[in-house]
Amino acid sequence: MNNIPQILIADDDSIIHMSMDVIAEKQGWKLTHTSLPKQTLEKVNNEIFDLIILDIHFGHKKAGLEVLKSLQKSSPLTPVIMLSGENEFSFIKEALKLGAEDYIIKGDEEEKLVHSIGQVLKTKKLSDQSLAHSRELIHRDEAHQLVGETVVVQELRKTIDKLRNKRINILIYGETGTGKEIVARGLRARSGDELEPFVAIDSATILSSTAESSLFGHEKGAFTGAEQSKTGLFEEARDGTIYFDEVSNMPLEIQSKLMRVLQEKEIRKLGSNQTIKLDFRVIAATNKDLTELSKKGEFKDDLFQRLNVVPITIPPLRDRANDVPLLISRAFLKAGSPQFNISEDAITLLKVYPWPGNVRELVHLVHYWIAMNDTGSIEVPDLPPHIRIAAQKKGFSSSNNQSQSNEQTRSDKSGTFYDKVEAYESSLLKEEYKICDGNISALAEKMGMDRSHLYSKLAQYGIHQKREKNKPHSL
């Protein structure tokens, strides 16, 4: 792996290129130069860079911002530092909203420029290491796709490894969306390089009228319409595993027939007098308490005892919240999408959210981001309202946390352009808040901001709280 930072300088000013060459030689950076927007995008599509330094105007007013928008779509993991002249705070604000990592004012001292570039390169390196670690963990789990590092997942993984080659019936307990079928497939044994047969059945779709034909097969002419013989699902699972998903939904009549097959390990096709001996293992899954259902007569107790030889419980996502970032990475990779940059505050809210739909809900959220988010970054305001509301009910204040995070950021980056940007932002919000007489709806519309994001910014600068002390504001 090449440890020399690869930096692309995109500017139509030859003096900038020459100046950066001098600095790069001192710092040990390798520079690539472009002077046109189209040339820049082609370079990024064909080569990998650790950092892009982009002129905000690039030939004509704000052309660099258009290039930035394209870069956020084509190469969202590559950080971009914008170059601009003095007193262009409106452009600074727009560039940051579009996803720029930092900003350099032309004419800044070399020390300040080197510091800004060094900080971004350092952050990029840490991000790359984190992504590589996530990929390593994900590839390690390819055998059964069980992603996670929490203790409960590690123990579950050990259980799966112990049971993989055991010809024993297993009952998997878990809420909807926890990944019961993933665990079931992970229990498949191997014969050399080949996985054993695995036949999955949705128990709710088994109809009493056609169950025997589906499960056990039939001979030609066994009933009207049986124009040819058919192999049943149990026979397809010979020497492998047959999996019944949500087994509690299976009709009682079919439960009795299944019990007989489990006991005898043989089937008889409809229309045949011959029995077929089979070796198979049954794995069943349920999101209900089968003990209670059997007491109520809603599930056959003898079948329950046959299935419940080794019970496995999959924890809900809320009980392994620290796995959320890794599961998100997995979802992006599996969808074939680059990983989005998700802020620490957003990750915190995602961890405290109870996830009633479990991992399935998380995957759907990632697919929503991929379809709807063009910036490649997720902040607290980008989270669905129900996630933010649920976090607040648990006592988490996204505004306070965002404020603390921004205070830390300002502390870490004091002396850079961030002070100027936030001073400008604070001044602008105070002025517009006063003009709108504290009307949040009017202010949000005027500023083109989401209300929740606006509330966060007002709290950050102490504007909203101060107004509330003096007089009530109108919504």
Average pLDDT, 10 consecutive residues per value, the chain (475 residues): 83 90 92 92 88 87 86 84 79 83 82 87 74 51 68 91 88 94 83 72 82 89 85 91 93 90 91 91 95 94 94 94 93 87 92 93 93 88 88 64 43 45 71 82 72 73 54 38
Predicted pLDDT at 407? 41
What string of DSSP letters covers 30-57?
A: EEEEE-SHHHHHHHHHHS--SEEEEESS
Task: Quote the longest CA-to-CA distance of the chain.
Answer: 93
Predicted pLDDT at 131? 58
Residues of the chain with CATH 3.40.50.2300: 6-138
Of 466, 394, 406, the closest CA to residue 433 belongs to: 466
Residues of the chain with CATH 1.10.8.60: 319-470
Predicted pLDDT at 145? 65
Predicted pLDDT at 134? 54
Of 258, 248, 328, the closest CA to residue 293 belongs to: 248
Predicted pLDDT at 423? 67
Fold held by 319-470: Helicase, Ruva Protein; domain 3 (1.10.8)
Long-range contacts of 270-275 (CB under 8 A, 24+ apart): 270/212, 270/213, 270/216, 270/217, 270/218, 270/219, 270/222, 270/223, 270/226, 271/218, 271/219, 271/220, 271/221, 271/222, 271/223, 271/226, 272/218, 272/219, 272/222
Question: Can you tell me whether residue 129 is helix, strand or coil?
Answer: helix
Fold held by 6-138: Rossmann fold (3.40.50)
Residues of the chain with CATH 3.40.50.300: 151-313
Model's pTM, two decimal places? 0.56
Locate all alpha helices (DSSP H) within 308-357, ordered by sequence: 324-334, 344-352
Range 151-313 has CATH code 1.10.357.10: no
